[in-house]
Amino acid sequence: MFPDVFRCKLESSVDWSVWAAKHTFSFVRSALWIVSSSMMILVLPYVIEKERSEYEKSQVAQQRQMLLGPSAAVSAAKH
């Protein structure tokens, strides 16, 4: 129905497109794994430590408020 040259070029184009899609997917999958695991190793400890520090500060402010009253907690927060 179609000329052999046209079918050959179309088949070649489809084969190349499938190859490119497979390799692109593989590359993106690997890159996503590298980025996500690196972020877990580099950023997650910082976020956890920051959260712990903020929690400790709020605990100190709450204890200060219980011991010295609301005005002491407000003045401590300003410093």
pLDDT tens-place string over residues 31-63: 999 999 999 999 999 999 999 999 999 999 999
Indicate the domain borders of the chain. Answer: 1-41, 43-79
Q: pLDDT band for 65, please (50, 70, 90 cuts).
A: confident
d(CA 19, CA 13): 10
Do 54 and 47 meet the contact criterion of CB atoms below 8 Å apart? no
Per the rule left: phi > 0, alpha: psi between -120 and 50, beta: everything else, 7 is alpha
